[in-house]
Structure 1
């Protein structure tokens, strides 16, 4: 469950390391796996595709705690940055993702590029 002002890790090679959630799409208070949120880049590498302070859309790929008490629990909150056409900025995805991205939300490319997919 991601709320506003949550600091998240970035799970792709776009150049950003840490982002801050500044908005959740729709009229929801929390975001979960597969939801698109608006983020601001807080920490990044010097040479990358994004710069610190820039605002982007991102899709949530890992959450520490789910709203339902299911078995799969990840160790961190992570996102993948998107451009204006809802395509990935980076070309690789680091770490595991959930199969909900492929099944329910339509982000099959992120799921296929990830290192491991949990059911």
Structure 2
């Protein structure tokens, strides 16, 4: 239970490690803070080299680790398709891209498609198009 004078461990990127509850905002007749309540707290311990200083008074929201885990965003599987790949004559860019894919172990999410004149099926199903343009300087 969280009440004034209670010490709390902090799990965020603010720089605080431990807070002490000073007051529960909006709790006129309540003695304890609930999940979702905002409290006024004093920073008792801070991570070194962060802008938050010891004894600094801040406002904080009470959250449960269980709730944070439940609210965690589910990232949908994302795939990248590189159309116009040429295995026999790879450009420096494509060589670096293939090395990056192998290094990050994402071969199952990045697909290289050989050069083709029928790109319409690929264009019909994409959400984002990134086009690599190479400028050739020609003298006429």
Q: TM-score, normalised by structure 2?
A: 0.46
Partner of residue 44 from structure 1, selected from 43, 46, 49: 46
* Larger relative contact order (CA 8 Å, sep ≥ 6): 1
1:3 aligns to 2:10 (yes or no): no
1:49: Cα distance to partner? 2.8
In 2, Cα distance between the equivalents of 1:10 and 1:21? Answer: 12
CA RMSD of aligned residues (A): 1.5
Q: Which runs of 4+ in 1 moved over 3 A?
A: none
Query: More strand per residue: 1 or 2?
Result: 1
- String of CA shifts for 1:26-85, please: whole Å, max 9, x gaps: 2121101100000000001121131101000000012xxxxxxxxxxxxxxxxxxxxxxx
Which TM-score applies when normalising by structure 1? Answer: 0.54
Q: Secondary structure at the match of 2:70?
A: strand
Richer in helix (by share) = 2
Pair member with larger Rg: 2
Deviations 1:68-110 (A, max 9, x none): xxxxxxxxxxxxxxxxxxxxxxxxxxxx342xxxxxxxxxxxx
1:15 equivalenced with 2:51 (yes/no): no
The residue number in structure 1 matching 2:70 is: 117
Distance 2:12 2:51 in 1: 11
Aligned residues: 69
